[in-house]
Chains A and B, each alone.
Chain A
Amino acid sequence: MMKDSQRTLVIAIVAALALAAPWVAYPVFLMTALCFALFACAFNLLLGYAGLMSFGHAMFFGMAGYFYGHVVKTWNLPPELGLIAGVAGAAAIGLVTGALAIRRQGIYFAMITLAFAQMVYFFCVQAPFTGGEDGLQGIPRKPLLGIIPTHDDHVLYYVVLAIFLFGFGTIYRIIHSPFGQVLKAIRDNEQRAVSLGYEADRYKLLAFVLSAALAGLAGATKAMVLQFATLTDVSAAMSGEVVLMALVGGLGTITGPVIGAFILVTMQNYLASFGEFVLVIQGVIFVVIVIAFRRGLVGELSALWRARFQPRSTEPETAD
């Protein structure tokens, strides 16, 4: 663990970078990365702290985008209602699919969520309100809360940063709340948690819905930024991508998914011209990480840090 003074310094540097970033880098790129970072954090909340591996998180992310687009473009309502619709819609889908998926455990859970996501995908291909193969294009950027001019990329960046911080803070609070402690207990030993009187299924379902809602917030925000919602965001490939982001950064670490998301979005930006090769590279990263670096970037680095600076630590390793 870092000392408090070091921690404050790191936070101050990151905050300064985050505030200055849109004047240095392309704001739309940063906003996309922030949306994916929130998405990866939401996924990681479920896998890292509840031990539930969802391979269908794209259904929440993508559907929230469609909800946002429908509310803002077709119904011509303000963007804040679009965001709320995205979050509520994703949470509702999470409630239904989650209630069914938690009836099975382990790897079956992953397959069930994947199957439901595929069902949602097929639904989106056919349903009239998604625009099929074309998706929802040209969602207008209307003023947020009636006053904030979101058509300006720099202004919108700070809005997205605030949304991200809200989501990230929520996740941090969930993890460090009594509820989060019970989740970890269930992850580590479900029978024991049940024997202590906790209704494991209700905790798991609530974690699933929370994760879905936050993934929805990320998806709706992305639709607000990029002004479109397409089938790509509900596809199985997107579900795999968010797993990869969390895996690259480090499963079960709080900052890992953020870093993983930035790495992958940057990579896609630079490798866009390689076409199918992006998939191959993603596949190779999956294989290499699973075989050699299962703790991910943040996990490996903090292990190195501990080994370097605290060679004879008597402190037990914390689970998070």
Chain B
Amino acid sequence: MAQVAIGLVNGAFYAMLSLGLAVIFGMLNVINFTHGAQFMMGAFAAWLLLGHLDVPFWASLILSPLLVGLFGVILERLLLKRIYHLDHLYGFLLTFGLALIIEGLAQWKWGSSGAPYPAPITGGTNLGFMIMPTYRLFVVVAALVVCLATWYGIERTRLGAYLRAATENPTLVRAFGINVPRLITLTYGLGVALAALAGVLAAPIQQVSALMGTNLVLVVFAVVVIGGMGSIMGSIVTGFGLGLIEGLTKVYYPPASNTVIFVVMALVLLVKPAGLFGQKR
């Protein structure tokens, strides 16, 4: 059961990250390879804020995504906006290059070994069938809340409606007097902030290290292929679901736990090539 709980925690990260990727892809048509690096930046921001300014975890939970989101906004304004008219390929390559730069710099400054971040909540909670560290429980609940809030924001509010409309037909939405480029910038900032938030939440569980997002982003790509990027809810469900599957694999056949998500991806491609929640494109 403990492994299942860990699986759920990983699922929470997959869900938040694939959600951010989906939101960004919907609006910018860019697969954000920098997502893993921005996840790492979120964790590092929290760690640095704690170490140098004594900012507690709860404040970092807000501050760090804001800072990293702002960084994302700058990136979008300076670089990403120049390549929207090109093939998807170039967005992929550009963000890959940015990820190399960010992770390389972090590795150069702080090395690749991890630094611990103290858990803000200690102790365990008895769930009846098992005792789960309270902090991990908090992560799962927090991720669920954040994911659902993002879903609500995009599917049920006026700003979300603009966003969806601009995804469908940016020219028309501009003609109605809505500042689409600004909307795009904000969307990227939001997606990046989500990644950073996941990073802050991950900091007390994993070690804060320069390469903590490198492999994660590749797994999240597989999650995105499985779920398809058409639906927000689809990303959330797929993320948590795959976390669970990974956790269960750890119980029954540990050697495959690293690869099970990729196997699932292969199976989904065989059976439903467009992804579980995706439209054919």
- Please encode chain B, from 249 to 274, with 1 for each CB lying within 8 Å of some chain A CB and 0 for all others: 00000010011001101100110011
Asked if B58 is at the interface of the complex by the 8 Å CB criterion, the answer is no
Asked if A119 is at the interface of the complex by the 8 Å CB criterion, the answer is yes
A290-B94 contact given A103-B273, A112-B265, CB 8 Å threshold: yes
Chain B, range 137-153, C-beta contacts under 8 Å to A: none
Chain B residues whose C-beta falls within 8 Å of the C-beta of A172 in the assembled complex: none
Contacting pair B94 A108 (CB below 8 A): no
Contacting pair B93 A280 (CB below 8 A): no
Asked if B281 is at the interface of the complex by the 8 Å CB criterion, the answer is yes
**Bound state CA distance, A118 and B262, in angstroms?**
8
A286-B94 contact given A104-B269, A280-B104, CB 8 Å threshold: yes
CB distance from B96 to the nearest CB of A (A): 6
CB distance from A265 to the nearest CB of B (A): 17
Contacting pair A111 B100 (CB below 8 A): no
**Bound state CA distance, A294 and B87, in angstroms?**
11
Contacting pair A126 B93 (CB below 8 A): no
CB distance from B46 to the nearest CB of A (A): 22
CB distance from B39 to the nearest CB of A (A): 16
**Bound state CA distance, A287 and B98, in angstroms?**
7
Contacting pair B218 A114 (CB below 8 A): yes
* Chain B contact surface mostly: helix
Chain B residues whose C-beta falls within 8 Å of the C-beta of A123 in the assembled complex: 259
A286-B97 contact given A291-B79, A294-B90, CB 8 Å threshold: yes
Given A55, A104, A125, which contacts B225 in the complex, CB threshold below 8 Å?
Answer: A104
Chain A interface extent, by class? 35 or more
**Bound state CA distance, A279 and B112, in angstroms?**
13
Would you mind naming 29 contact pairs between A and B with Cβ atoms under 8 Å apart?
A103-B269, A104-B273, A105-B281, A106-B88, A106-B281, A107-B31, A111-B221, A112-B225, A114-B221, A115-B218, A116-B266, A118-B215, A118-B218, A119-B262, A122-B258, A125-B258, A236-B218, A240-B96, A247-B93, A276-B108, A276-B112, A277-B104, A280-B104, A280-B108, A283-B99, A283-B101, A285-B97, A286-B93, A291-B82
Asked if A45 is at the interface of the complex by the 8 Å CB criterion, the answer is no
Asked if B103 is at the interface of the complex by the 8 Å CB criterion, the answer is yes
Asked if A275 is at the interface of the complex by the 8 Å CB criterion, the answer is yes
Chain A residues whose C-beta falls within 8 Å of the C-beta of B266 in the assembled complex: 100, 116
Asked if B83 is at the interface of the complex by the 8 Å CB criterion, the answer is yes
**Bound state CA distance, A240 and B103, in angstroms?**
14
A-B residue pair count with CB separations less than 8 angstroms: 122
CB distance from B145 to the nearest CB of A (A): 28
Q: A105-B281, A110-B89, A119-B262 are in contact. List 19 more A-B contacts (CB 8 A).
A: A100-B266, A100-B269, A104-B225, A107-B88, A111-B222, A111-B224, A114-B221, A115-B219, A115-B221, A118-B215, A118-B219, A118-B262, A122-B258, A279-B100, A280-B104, A280-B105, A287-B79, A287-B98, A290-B83
In the complex, which residue of chain A has the Cβ closest to the Cβ of B223?
A115
Chain A residues whose C-beta falls within 8 Å of the C-beta of B225 in the assembled complex: 104, 108, 111-112, 115
Contacting pair B88 A291 (CB below 8 A): no
Asked if A46 is at the interface of the complex by the 8 Å CB criterion, the answer is no
Contacting pair B107 A287 (CB below 8 A): no
Contacting pair A115 B265 (CB below 8 A): yes
Asked if B135 is at the interface of the complex by the 8 Å CB criterion, the answer is no
Asked if B92 is at the interface of the complex by the 8 Å CB criterion, the answer is yes
Asked if A284 is at the interface of the complex by the 8 Å CB criterion, the answer is yes
Asked if A224 is at the interface of the complex by the 8 Å CB criterion, the answer is no
Contacting pair B100 A110 (CB below 8 A): no
A279-B97 contact given A107-B88, A107-B92, A122-B258, CB 8 Å threshold: no
Asked if A137 is at the interface of the complex by the 8 Å CB criterion, the answer is no
Contacting pair A119 B259 (CB below 8 A): yes
Contacting pair A287 B108 (CB below 8 A): no
